[in-house]
Amino acid sequence: MEKINEKMSSNIEQCPETKPNVLCNELSKNTISSKINPNVTFDEKAVCESNITNDTWTPLARLTGTRPTVDKLTVSRYSPGEWKLHNKEILNNSNIFNLSKNIAFATNSIEKKICSQVDRDQQDTYNDLRKRASTIFCWKIELEKNNNNITMEIDEMKDETKRLLRSNQAIKNIININKNMQKTRNLRMKPDLVTDSLTEELIKEEFLCDEVMNLYTRCIDEIKMQMTELKDAKQRLEHDWSDKTTAHEIDSSCIGLRSETITNQWNLGCVKFPQNQSSTNDYEKFIKETLAFCQIAVGRSRVLRANLKEIVDRSVKDLRNQADKCLKKLSDNEKMIKQVSSTVQRLDAPMKCAQSRLSMRLTRENVENCRDEPHYGLIDEVKGISEGTTILSGHINSLNESLDYLTTCRQKIENEIMIKRKSLWIDSDRCQYIRSSYPSWKILSGYE
C-alpha cells in the first residue's frame, strides 16, 4: 500500500493537468459548460453536473480534492459527463469551419462588389474628365476666336490712328497752302486789295481746317482710350486662355492615367476641397463676363471706327467742297479780268470814231452857218450863224471833253489792265501753282 500511495503521489506531481481541485471548482461554478459551448442549455448543464457528482470518488480524493490516477489499478480518469462535454466541444468546433467558410464567401462577395464599384466609379470619373476636358476645349476655342477678333480690332484701331495722323498732317499742309495764298494775294496793288469772295472762301477754309484738326485730335484721344480698353480685354482673354490651356493639358493627362500606370504615386494630402476653388456656376459666370467684356469692347471699337470713317469722310467732303469753291472763285476772277481786258480793247473803236468825227467837223467853213434869205433871212442867218457857232463851239468843247475823258479812261483802263495782269498772274500762275499741292481725298482720308 505504501508503494501504491508513493506511486500515486509521483503521478500527481508529474501531471499538473490532473489537479481535480481546479476542475471541481470550475464545475462548482458551472463554468465548464459555458466555456466549452455557450449554447448549452440549463438542463444539459444540470445533467452534466449530476453525472459528475454521481461518479465514484475514493475517500482520499474526497479529502484531498484530487482525482485518482489513471493506471493499471484504476478504472477511469474522466467521468462520462466530462467525456460528453469533450465530444460536444469537438462537434462545436466544426461550426467554426462553417463560419470561416461563410466569412470567406462574404469576403469574396464584398471584394467583388467593391472592385466592381471601384471600376464603375473610375469609369464615371473617366467620363466626367472627358466631358470636362471637352468643355474646357470648347471654351478655349471660343476664347481664341474672341482673342483673334480683338487682335484684329486692335490692328484696325492702330491703322485708324495712323490714318488720322496722316490726315492731320495733310490738313496742316492745307493750312500752309491757305496762308501762302493769302500772303501771295496781299502782294496785289491797292485797287485790287479787296476782300472778295475768294478771300472769304480762304478764310472759311482756314476755320474749317482748324475745326477738322480739333475734331481729329479728339478722335485720336478717343482711339487711345478705346485701345486701352481693348488691351485690357485682350489681357483678360489671354490670362483666361492660358489657365484653360493648362487645365486642358492637366485633364488630358488625367484621362490618360490608368490603374496600371507606373507613374501613379501616393498623394494623401490632395484629398480635400481647397478654399480657393471656384464652383461650376462661378466658373461659367467668369467666362461669360470675360467674353461679354471683350465683345462690348470690340463693339465699341467698331462703332468708333464707323463714326471715325463718317467723320473723316464728311470732313474730307467739306474740305473738297471748300477747295472747289475757292477754285471756282479763282476761276471767276480770271474770267472777270479777261472780260475787262476785252472791254478795254473794244473801247478803241469808239475812241477812233469820236476822233474822226471831231477832225471832220473842224474842217467846216463859216459860210455854211448862214441862210440865203431876205433881210429877215439875213437876220436869221446872222442869228443862225451865231447859234451855229455857239453850237459848234459847244460840240467842239463836248468832243474835246469827251476826248479828254476817253483819254483819262484809257489811262485808267491801261493802269487797271496792268493791275489785273498782275492779279491774273497772282491768281492764275502763282495761286494755281500753290493750290496744285492741295492733297487729294486719299491723302486727306489718311490712306496714303
Burial of 349 (C-beta count, 10 Å sphere; 0-12/13-18/19+)? exposed
Among 78, 98, 126, where does a domain finish?
78
Cα–Cα distance for residue pair 382/395, rounded to 1 Å: 19
CB distance 66 to 18 below 8 Å = yes
Task: Identify the pLDDT of residue 197.
Answer: 73
Cell output for 416:
487797271
Task: For residue 186, give the C-alpha cell.
Answer: 496781299
In a domain, 358, yes or no: yes
pLDDT at 138: 92
Is residue 284 one of the residues assigned to a domain? no
Query: How many separate domains does the chain show?
Result: 2
CA 216 to chain centre: 25
* 372 in a structural domain: yes
Q: Which residues contact 305 (CB under 8 A, 6 or more apart)?
A: 156, 157, 160
Question: Is residue 210 in a domain?
Answer: no
Residue 393 pLDDT: 46
What is the predicted pLDDT for the residue at 62?
Answer: 56
Q: How far apart are CA 3 and CA 8, in angstroms?
A: 9
Tell whether 241 is covered by a domain: no
Domain boundary among 36, 52, 78: 78
* Owning domain of residue 388: 349-435
Positions of the chain with pLDDT lower than 50, given as ranges? 1-55, 358, 369-386, 388-389, 392-393, 395-396, 399-400, 402-403, 406, 409
Exposure of 48 in the CB half-sphere (CA atoms within 13 A): 27
Residue at a domain's end among 60, 78, 96: 78
148 in any annotated domain? no
359 assigned to some structural domain: yes
Helices 197-256 and 280-346 meet at what angle, rounded to 10?
A: 160
In a domain, 95, yes or no: no
